[in-house]
Amino acid sequence: MTHILVTGGAGFIGSHLVDSLLRDGHGITVLDNFDAFYDRAAKERNIEGHRGRSNWRLVEGDLRDLPALRQQLAGPFDVIAHLAAKAGVRPSIEDPLGSRFTSSRA
């Protein structure tokens, strides 16, 4: 079984990719930070059908927090589908480096 990491996998596009990958029998780890830009309930609905599947795992975390990722992500991964992104054009312009990110960085 191919093990795939999907960053941003609780978002609209990411969750639809995960739907397809799960149907094809792949093992999936989703990494999503549930950014407050979008209603958390919407992302929870996106992944509702994935919960409880033995070949699906959710890691709630931020790509910018390398120490936490090292602890939480169990690889190796055969494929990484990187769909995580800063949400919204205006917030990206106002805070392009994510200076409001408060977790420690490595």
Q: What is the pLDDT of residues 33-80, one digit of tens each?
A: 998 888 999 999 999 999 999 999 999 999 989 999 999 997 799 999
Residue 46 falls within a domain, yes or no? yes
Q: Structure pTM?
A: 0.86
User: Per-residue pLDDT for 98 more than 50?
Assistant: yes
Residue 14 falls within a domain, yes or no? yes
Residue 78 falls within a domain, yes or no? yes
Domain with 80, as residue range(s), is 3-94
| Single-letter residue type at 68 | A
Residue 16 falls within a domain, yes or no? yes
Q: Is the dihedral of CA 90, 5, 99, 103 positive or negative?
A: positive
User: Per-residue pLDDT for 31 more than 90?
Assistant: yes
CATH, residue 74: 3.40.50.720
Q: Is the dihedral of CA 32, 38, 40, 46 positive or negative?
A: negative
User: Per-residue pLDDT for 106 more than 80?
Assistant: no
Residue 101 falls within a domain, yes or no? no
Residue 105 falls within a domain, yes or no? no
Q: Mean pLDDT throughout 17-35?
A: 97
- Give the pLDDT confidence score for residue 75 in this predicted structure: 79
In this prediction, residue 100 has a pLDDT band, given cuts at 50, 70 and 90, of: low
Angle at 60 between CA 30 and CA 62, to 5 degrees: 95
Residue 61 falls within a domain, yes or no? yes
Q: Which of 79, 103, 95, 93 has the alpha carbon at shortest distance from 18?
A: 79
Number of domains in the chain: 1
User: Per-residue pLDDT for 101 more than 60?
Assistant: no
Residue 83 falls within a domain, yes or no? yes
- When the pLDDT of each residue in the chain is averaged and rounded to a whole number, the result is 90
